[in-house]
Amino acid sequence: MANPRFPASYVAILSEMLKDYGQPADSVLATVGLSSEYLDQPDASISDQQLRQLLQLASRLSDDPALGLNFGRRLTLTSHGVLGYALMSCNDLISALDLLMKYYRLLMSSAMLTLEEVDDHIVIEHKNLGPDLMNPNFDEEIFSAGIVTAVKQLLHRDSLPMELYFAYPEPAHGDEYRKIFNCSINFDQNRNAIKLPNSLLQEKPEFANPSMLKIYQQQCDKLLARLDDNADLSSSVRRMLVAENSGFPKLEAMAEKFHMSPRTFRRRLQEEGSSFQKISDEVKRQLAEDYLRNSNFSIDTIASLVGFNDISNFRRAFIRWTGESPANFQKKHRP
Domain boundaries, the chain: 1-64, 79-231, 232-333
| Tens of pLDDT, residue by residue, the chain (335 residues) | 344 467 778 888 888 888 888 887 777 788 878 777 777 776 677 777 788 888 888 888 888 999 999 999 999 998 888 899 999 999 999 999 999 988 887 887 667 788 888 889 999 988 776 667 778 889 899 999 999 999 999 999 999 999 999 988 999 999 999 999 999 999 988 788 999 999 999 999 988 999 999 999 999 888 877 766 656 788 778 877 876 655 688 899 888 877 778 888 898 899 888 899 999 998 888 888 888 887 777 898 888 888 888 899 999 999 999 999 999 998 887 65
- Are 283 and 242 in contact by the 8 Å Cβ rule? The answer is yes
The confidence score (pLDDT) of residue 86 equals: 95
**Which pTM was predicted?**
0.70
Q: 24-75: per-residue pLDDT in tens?
A: 777 778 887 877 777 777 667 777 778 888 888 888 888 899 999 999 999 9
Q: Which residues does residue 45 pair with via DSSP β-bridges, in sequence order?
A: 7
The CATH class for the domain spanning 232-333 reads mainly alpha
